């Protein structure tokens, strides 16, 4: 517990003192938990949130069909037994409204809302070298300052619109009816029944939205550029009795999540792909395909991620499943990816997604064959025909991880812009700090272990580590820290090296920083956004760093002091 004099528990109104000891940007899953840890310590802190309320991803993504792909009971926070005991997850894979209710419940239970300021867009965040503090300028015209700045911006919070004539990068378009990105789906009900609806995009979001919209719309047209490999979610309700069983097993569940690379209950099969017969492999895949959740991806043989032949065999198995489920063989072939294998991009889990294409009110437009030429006032024009719609849905994804950083003008020591520093791709120390940007910690930033796991499991690791380092700073009376350049280089090289082993490096997905709608992020570029070593290895590494007095980080009591650590 830091001393009151150094942790900014009092309002920093004295001359030269920042207004806050800590500012957190973002009131989503990470920001809420980080605020809890700081409030527990009595640190003078605030959370600035762009949205009109808390919840991050679960506040914004209100599109039909939006739900967890993680087992609900592995997605909740694990820090409070009381919270675990009182919350009843109603579904194995809970839907957005319930998830948002959960996050509100957490914030209210621990009285965290009072620290949060909503409708606050941070436009600039500049490090003042002389004062050793961060100065923020907000969209509402206010200026705020803090000693330490923590970003909890979310991984997928910078939505991108398609670069097509008739729609602008900010989402405004020439279409005269309602149209929106799935991330900006309105809070008020949207009438789908009786409407002719278009969905552009078939990633994890599109796949959920398409199946749900297909149930209600008079007509649904899906515009697909590249299909994804999807697998069944197998959702179900959780009864009171089952929930009691889950509560009794929480320690075991979280222990298991902590042991697995992805932070899920699904443990990789370590027998070795080539050590079992093709018949055994097939039997195992049949079982996994019929089970709930990510098992078919995460409880599979590890070879599927780096051995082309192993991956091809699994992909052929999944391809046959798609053929079995889609009535029209021509449509089935269009839904089977040919440019990448199963699991090398993020696998969307689906509920009757493939069967949606068997419905008479649903059709698929393959825009590789007949590209979209423009959005028009009444619909979408392809090289083949004009389609009339009442509603257009852009399920066109995100400028992942770094996109939300790029939207804020971060400037470090000497006025260096983070956008420039990361111009050719991010460089970080353990995904949590950046050389040249003192007193900044990027919770779930690029290259952190938190980013590539069952999010709250990774987030708790990241937030606890960040809080531990702040404790260290306060206990030692430091006022400044910064990641060393060599340590940063070493970590970034380690992250890059790990990609070189994985088939993922060849794929066009957000794990490799691909986004066709952002300059420099298109096909053919690769940006090393995620740490692929798995959560246990990541935790071991960052704990080791903490145990060695935060090796790779320099600390000072004033700007010119010599670093230690
Ligand atoms: P995404 O995976 O990036 O998919 C975007 C889709 O839009 C792709 O099919 C893409 O086609 C298409 N697209 C983009 N620009 C286009 C254009 N100009 N013309 C035509 N098509 C275009 O994004 P997402 O589906 O929003 O998913 C992002 C991530 O969010 C997921 O990977 C997952 O991590 C997370 N997510 C999680 C859940 C969950 O937990 N249940 C649900 C939804 C999303 P190309 O592939 O050809 O570029």
What is the full per-residue pLDDT of the chain (565 aa) written as tens digits? 333 334 444 444 445 689 999 999 999 999 999 999 999 999 999 999 999 999 999 999 999 999 999 999 999 999 999 999 999 999 999 999 999 999 999 999 999 999 999 999 999 999 999 999 999 999 999 999 999 999 999 999 999 999 999 999 999 999 999 999 999 999 999 999 999 999 999 999 999 999 999 999 999 999 999 999 999 999 999 999 999 999 999 999 999 999 999 999 999 999 999 999 999 999 999 999 999 999 999 999 999 999 999 999 999 999 999 999 999 999 999 999 999 999 999 999 999 999 999 999 999 999 999 999 999 999 999 999 999 999 999 999 999 999 999 999 999 999 999 999 999 999 999 999 999 999 999 998 999 987 779 999 999 999 999 999 999 999 999 999 999 999 999 999 999 999 998 999 988 999 899 999 999 998 888 999 999 999 999 999 999 999 999 999 999 996 443 333 3
Query: What is the CB neighbour count within 10 angstroms for residue 116?
Result: 19
> Exposed, middle or buried: residue 13 (CB in 10 Å: 0-12, 13-18, 19+)?
exposed
Helix (H, G, I), strand (E, B) or coil at 90: coil
Q: Of 68, 225, 372, 507, which is best to mutate to test ligand 1, by the most ligand atoms within 8 angstroms of its C-beta?
A: 225
Which of ligand 1's atoms lies nearest the C-alpha of 70? 40
Residue 447 CA to ligand 1 center (angstroms) comes to 20
Residue nearest to atom 46 of ligand 1 (CA): 226
Of the candidates 149, 20, 156, 22, the residue with the CA atom closest to the CA atom of residue 434:
149
Cβ(362) to ligand 1 under 6 A? no
pLDDT digits over 199-210, tens only?
999 999 999 999
Residue 202 CA to ligand 1 center (angstroms) comes to 6
Distance CA 255, CA 265 (A): 9
* Residue 263 CB partners (closer than 8 Å, separation 6+): 74, 257, 453, 454, 457, 458, 535
Which of ligand 1's atoms lies nearest the C-alpha of 164? 18
Residue nearest to atom 43 of ligand 1 (CA): 205
Kind and range of the H or E element at 60? helix 57-60
Taking the alpha carbons at both ends of the chain, their separation in whole angstroms is: 20
Residue 370 CA to ligand 1 center (angstroms) comes to 20
Of the candidates 537, 558, 538, 543, the residue with the CA atom closest to the CA atom of residue 469:
543
- Concatenated DSSP letters of 22-42: EEEE--SHHHHHHHHHHHHTT
In sign, the C-alpha dihedral spanning 201, 207, 211, 216 is: negative
Residue 334 CA to ligand 1 center (angstroms) comes to 17
Query: What is the CB neighbour count within 10 angstroms for residue 11?
Result: 11
Residue 218 CA to ligand 1 center (angstroms) comes to 24
Of the candidates 38, 96, 28, 92, the residue with the CA atom closest to the CA atom of residue 65:
96
Cβ(162) to ligand 1 under 6 A? yes
pTM of the model: 0.95
Helix (H, G, I), strand (E, B) or coil at 206: helix
Quick check: 283 and 312 in contact, CB under 8 A? no
Residue 258 CA to ligand 1 center (angstroms) comes to 28
């Amino acid at each position: 517990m830091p001393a009151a004099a150094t942790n900014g528990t009092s309002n920093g109104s004295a001359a030269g003192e920042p207004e806050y000891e800590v500012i957190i940007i973002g009131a989503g899953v990470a920001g809420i938990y980080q605020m809890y840890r700081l409030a527990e310590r009595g640190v003078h802190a605030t959370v600035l949130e762009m949205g009109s309320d808390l919840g991050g991803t679960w506040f914004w993504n209100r599109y039909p069909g939006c739900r967890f792909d993680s087992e609900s009971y592995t997605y909740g926070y694990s820090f409070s037994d009381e919270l675990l005991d009182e919350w009843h997850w109603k579904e194995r894979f809970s839907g957005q409204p319930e998830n948002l209710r959960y996050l509100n419940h957490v914030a209210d239970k621990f009285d965290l809302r009072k620290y949060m300021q909503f409708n606050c867009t941070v436009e600039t965040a500049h490090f003042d070298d002389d004062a050793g503090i961060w100065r923020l300028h907000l969209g509402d015209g206010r200026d705020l300052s803090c000693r330490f700045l923590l970003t909890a911006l979310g991984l997928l919070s910078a939505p991108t619109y398609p670069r097509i004539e008739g729609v602008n990068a900010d989402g405004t378009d020439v279409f005269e009816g309602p149209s929106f990105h799935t991330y900006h789906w309105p809070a008020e009900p949207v009438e789908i029944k009786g409407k002719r609806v278009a969905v552009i995009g078939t990633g994890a979001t599109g796949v959920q939205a398409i199946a749900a919209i297909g149930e209600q719309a008079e007509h649904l047209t899906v515009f697909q550029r590249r299909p994804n490999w999807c697998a069944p979610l197998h959702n179900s309700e959780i009864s009171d009795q089952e929930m009691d069983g889950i509560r009794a097993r929480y320690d075991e569940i979280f222990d298991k999540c902590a042991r697995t690379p992805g932070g899920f209950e699904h443990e990789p099969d370590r027998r070795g792909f080539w050590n079992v017969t093709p018949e055994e492999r097939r039997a195992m895949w049949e079982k996994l395909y019929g089970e709930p959740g990510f098992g078919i991806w995460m409880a599979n043989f590890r070879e599927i991620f780096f051995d082309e032949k192993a991956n091809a065999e699994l992909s052929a198995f999944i391809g046959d499943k798609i053929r079995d489920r889609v009535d029209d063989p021509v449509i089935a072939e269009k839904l089977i990816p040919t440019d990448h294998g199963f699991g090398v991009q993020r696998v969307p889990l689906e509920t009757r997604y493939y069967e949606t294409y068997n419905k008479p009110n649903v059709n698929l437009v393959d825009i590789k064959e007949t590209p979209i030429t423009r959005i028009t006032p009444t619909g979408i024009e392809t090289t083949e025909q004009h389609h009339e719609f009442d509603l257009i849905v852009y399920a066109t994804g995100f400028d992942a991880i770094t996109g939300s950083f790029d939207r804020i003008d971060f400037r470090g020591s000497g006025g260096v812009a983070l956008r420039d520093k990361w111009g050719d791709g991010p460089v970080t120390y353990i995904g949590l700090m950046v050389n040249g940007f003192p007193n900044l910690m990027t919770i779930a930033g690029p290259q952190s272990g938190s980013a590539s796991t069952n999010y709250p499991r990774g987030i708790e690791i990241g937030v606890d580590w960040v809080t531990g380092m702040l404790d260290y700073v306060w206990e030692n009376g430091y006022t400044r820290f910064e990641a060393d350049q060599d340590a940063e280089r070493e970590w970034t090289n380690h992250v890059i090296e790990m990609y070189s082993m994985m088939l993922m490096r060849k794929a066009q997905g957000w794990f490799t920083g691909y986004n066709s709608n952002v300059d420099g992020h298109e096909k053919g570029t690769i940006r090393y956004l995620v740490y692929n070593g798995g959560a246990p290895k990541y935790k071991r590494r960052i704990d080791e760093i903490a145990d060695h007095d935060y090796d790779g980080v320099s600390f000072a009591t004033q700007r010119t002091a010599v670093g230690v650590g």
